[in-house]
Structure 1
Amino acid sequence: MNTREYDASASYKSINWNVVEDMVDKLTWEKLTSQFWLDTRMVPSNDKADWSKLTDAEKTLYNKVFGGLTMLDTLQGEDGNAEIMKDARTQHEIAVLTNIQFMEQVHAKSYSTIFSTLCSPAEISEIFRWTEENEYLQYKGHRIREIYLNGTPLQKKATSVMLESFLFYSGFYTPLRYMGNGKMVNVAEIIRLILRDESVHGTYIGYKFRVGLEELPEDEQQEVIDWVYDLLLDLYRNESRYTEELYDEIGWTESVKVFLKYNANKALMNLGLDPFFSETVEDVDPIVMNGISTTTSNMDFFSSVGNGYLLSDVEAMKDEDYAY
C-alpha cells in the first residue's frame, strides 16, 4: 500500500533535514553526495591504444556487456526507483531515491560515453540492436519491470537489490578482469565508480526491505522470503544462459558464474537473508578482485588529468559495504 496517498485536507509539508525520522536516510544521502561524479570528467580515450590490441571477439564482448548494463541502468532509472518511491515512508527517503534514480541515468549515459570513444556509429547502432533482440536480456528486463509495475512494495525492493547487487556483475566482470591485468584501466575506472554507487544503492534499498519485512507477521515474512529465493533462482538460471552466450567463446564462462554466485549471496545479505550458494570471495578469480581493489590515482577535477576522481577516491569493496 502506498503510505503517502494524497490528502487534500492536509497541509503540504516542506522537507526538514533537521528532523530526520530514519538516520539511515541522512547517512545515505551524505554518502551518495560525497561520492558524486559525472562521466564527462573521465577519460576513456586514454584506452584507445589498449583497445586497438584487443581481438575482435574481445571487442564484441566489451560492447555486448556494456550494452546489457546500459539496459539495466535504464530500467532502474526509468522504472525501478520511480516505482519504489511510490511506497516511501518519509520525504527523506524520497530524496535519497531521487538521488539514486539520477545516478542510474548517469551510469547509463557513461556507457554511451565509452561507446562514442571506442566505437563507430554503425557499431554503436549494432550494440543497441543486439540488446533489443537478445532473449536473455529481454527476459530479465520484462521480468523485473513486471514486478516493479505490479509487485508489492517488498517485492519491488527485493527485485531492485537483485539487480543492483547481482545481475550487474555478469557485465562488470569483463572490465574488472582487464583492469586487474592493467589493461583498459580508464574504462574500468568508470565501472568502479558505478560499482561503488551500486554498492550503496543495494545496501540502502536492502535496508528498507528489512525494515518492512520485520513489520510483517512471521508467516507472511516466510512467504516473502520464499518468493525472494524463487526469484533468485529464476534470475540465476537466465543469467547463467546469458553468461554462456557472452563468455563461451573467450573461455571465461565458469569463472563468471562463480562471480555471479558470490554476488548473488551479497544481494541476499543486503536483504538480511542467508546465502544460497557456497561460493565465497576465496573462490572468485583474484585478478577480478584485484581489479576491484586497485587504488585509483587522483585527477584534477577541472582539467580532467589522470584516471581517478578528485572529489572522492574510488574505494575498495568490503563485506561491511553490504550491511549497515
Structure 2
Amino acid sequence: MEQVDNYYKAINWNEIEDTIDKATWEKLTEQFWLDTRIPLSNDLDDWRTLKPEEKTVVGHVFGGLTLLDTLQSQDGMAKLKENVRTQKEEAVLNNIQFMESVHAKSYSSIFSTLNTNEEIKEIFDWTDHNEYLQKKAKYINDIYQDGSPLQKKVASVFLETFLFYSGFYTPLYYLGNNKLANVAEIIKLIIRDESVHGTYIGYKFQLGFNELSEKEQEEMQDWMYDLLYKLYENEALYTQDLYDEIGWTEEVMTFLRYNANKALMNLGQNPLFPDTDEDVNPIVMNGLSTGTSNHDFFSQVGNGYLLGHVSAMRDDDYNIGLDDK
C-alpha cells in the first residue's frame, strides 16, 4: 500500500513528552465532580439567618465569579490552546475548559436554590454592569486576544490564583462559622480545580520564560508586575464595592495579597506583598482547610486545601507520585 503524507497526527498517550501533562490529566480526571451532586437545599435554614446586606454580598460575589469563569471557559482556554507544546497539553486544557464551564454553571445552581427569580435577575444585572468587575474582565480578555503566548499564561494564572479570591473569601468565611456548608463545598471543589489549573499553567509559563534571553526575561517581569499592580488597584475598588457595607474590606484585601503572592510563585517569581497565611483571618483559613477532599495539587496526604506558606516551586514539586511511562 502506498504511504501517504501525515495529514493529521493521532494523539499517543503511550509516548509522553512531558510527564506533567500526564500527571495533570490524571489528577483532573480523578477529581471530576458536578454541582448536581451537592445537596444545596440543605443550606436554606442557614441562608434564612443571614441579614439582607449579607445575602446581597453573597449574590454579587457569586455573580462576579460566574462572569470570570465564563471568561475562562469561553475565551481564556481557547486562546491558551493556540500555543501548546504538546498534544497532551491541549487535552489538559480541554479538560480545564470544560471544568470552567462546570464552575460557571455551579453558581446558577446556588442561585436557583437560594434566590428568587427577581433576585437572580438583579444579580446578573449587577454582574453585567459593575464597573470594576467589567474592567477586570476587560484587562484579562484584552491580553487573551492580543497578548503574547507567555502573557496569556500570566493573565490566566493571575485570574485563577489571585482575582477569584475576592469572591472565594465569602463562602469560606461562612464555612468557618459553620454556615452554608454545602455552598462552601462547591467553592472548595472549585478551589481544588483552580489550584491545579494555576500550577499547571504557571509551570508551562516557566518553561517558556526559561527559554528567553536575560533581557527578555527582565522585560517580561516588568510587564508582569505592572499588570499585577494594575489588577490590584482595580481589585481594591471592586472589594470596597462588595464589602464596605458589611465591614470586611480590609480582611479580604489581606487574603487577596496573600493569593497574589501565590500567583507569582506559580509563575516562578518572587512574592510582592508581605502578607502570609498568618495574616489571613483564621476563620477563613479554618474554612479553607476543612474538608474531605485533598485540595493540594502537590500533596498526597492530609485533608483540605491547606494554603500554607508561599514558597518557590522546584522541579520535584511536580512529582506527584506517578511513575513515568
Aligned partner (choices 214, 221, 233) of residue 218 of structure 1: 214
- Who is 1:154 aligned against? 150
What is the DSSP-based 3-state SS (H/G/I as helix, E as strand, rest coil) of the residue aligned with 1:249? helix
CA distance in 2, matches of 1:249, 1:320: 31
Give the structure 1 partner of residue 225 of structure 2: 229
Classify 1:257/1:278 alpha carbon distance in 2 versus 1 (closer, same or farther; 3 Å): same
CA RMSD of aligned residues (A): 1.6
Among 99, 108, 113, the residue aligned to 1:103: 99
CA contact (8 A) 2:133 2:238 kept: yes
Match of 1:317 among 303, 306, 315: 306
1:36 corresponds to which residue? Answer: 32
Gaps of 5+ in 1: 1-7, 298-312
Quote the Cα distance in structure 2 between the aligned partners of 1:182 and 1:54: 13
Q: Counterpart in 2 of 1:94?
A: 90
Aligned to 1:143: 139
Give me the whole-angstrom Cα distance separating, in 2, the residues matched to 1:81 and 1:314: 29
Q: Equivalences for 1:1-324 in 2 at 5 Å? A: 10-296=6-292, 315-319=304-308, 323=313, 324=318
| DSSP-derived class of the 2:271 partner | coil
| TM-score, normalised with respect to structure 2 | 0.90
- State the 1:314 CA deviation: 6.8
Alpha-carbon shift at residue 12 of structure 1 (Å): 1.1
d(CA) in 1 for partners of 2:162, 2:18: 26
Report the CA distance shift for 1:151/1:78 in structure 2 as closer, same or farther (over 3 A): same
State the 1:321 CA deviation. 9.7
C-alpha offsets along residues 97-138 of structure 1, whole Å, 9 cap, x if unaligned?
A: 000000000000000000000011111111110011100000
How far apart are 1:89 and its partner, in Å?
1.2
Question: Partner of 1:306 in structure 2?
Answer: none
The amino acid across from 2:305 in the alignment is A
8 Å CA contact retained: 2:290, 2:303 = no
In 2, distance between residues paired with 1:320 and 1:261? 13
The residue aligned with 1:5 is none
**Paired residue for 2:296?**
none
Say if 2:80 and 2:149, in contact at 8 Å, map to a contact too. Answer: yes
Residue 315 of structure 1: how far off its partner (Å): 2.9
Runs of 4+ in 1 over 6 A off after TM superposition: none
> In the superposition, relative to structure 1, how do residues 320 and 35 fare at CA in structure 2: closer, same or farther (>3 Å)?
farther
Moved more, 234-243 or 10-19: 10-19
**Structure 1 Cα separation of the partners of residues 184 and 66 of structure 2:** 15
1:296 aligned partner, one-letter code: T
Q: CA deviation at 1:320?
A: 8.6
The answer to whether the Cα contact below 8 Å between 1:196 and 1:317 also exists between their aligned partners in 2 is: no
Aligned-pair identity in percent equals: 64
Looking at structure 1, the residues matched to 281 and 247 of structure 2 have their Cα atoms a distance apart, in angstroms, of 13
Shift of 1:254: 0.3
Which residue identity is paired with 2:97? Q
Gaps of 5+ in 2: 294-301, 319-325
Letter in 2 for 1:277: F
The more displaced of 313-322 and 218-227 is 313-322
Cα offset, 1:143, TM superposition: 1.0
Q: Do the aligned residues in 1 keep the contact of 2:277 with 2:307 (CA within 8 Å)?
A: no
**1:140-176, Cα deviation, whole Å (9 max, x unpaired):** 1111111000000000000000000000000000000
Distance 2:129 2:244 in 1: 19
Question: In the superposition, relative to structure 1, how do residues 237 and 321 fare at CA in structure 2: closer, same or farther (>3 Å)?
Answer: closer
Which fold has the larger relative contact order, with Cα–Cα distance below 8 Å and residues 6 or more apart in sequence?
1
Please list the CA deviations of residues 201-249 of structure 1 after superposition, one character each: whole Å capped at 9, or x if unmatched. Answer: 0000000000000001110011011111000000000000000011111
In structure 1, C-alpha distance between the alignment counterparts of 2:226 and 2:310, rounded to whole Å: 25
Counterpart contact for 1:131–1:137, Cα < 8 Å: yes
